[in-house]
Amino acid sequence: MLASVDGLHVAAERSYATSSAEEALASFRVARRQTLDLIGTLTPDQFERPATFEGYGALSLKSLVHYLCSHDQQHLAGLQWLLGKIEALGIKPSLISPA
């Protein structure tokens, strides 16, 4: 059984609303690198291991990787939208920290 993650609680706990974007991105990058390193060590049989994910139901480890990718892509889409909004408002790129 995999417990669901309360994203709002995590965001509040990590003070995302008041954190610098650079620190949040750096932290995310480290966490995703660790995830990718772990995934890279798994065998095909391990990817097929079954589990139950609270709120989603039955899945395999491969399914969970797909969920993680989808979750990250949703955040990236939101950031793209935000960059479009920044551009539309005419905010100068020099005021935005480099990626």
What are the respective helix, strand and coil percentages of the chain, to the nearest 5? Answer: 60, 10, 30
- What gap in Å lies between CA 91 and CA 71, rounded to an integer? 28
- Residue 18 in 3-state DSSP? coil
Question: Over the stretch 32-85, which tens digit does the pLDDT of each residue have?
Answer: 999 999 999 999 999 999 999 998 899 999 999 999 999 999 988 988 898 898
Does this model's pTM top 0.75? My answer is no
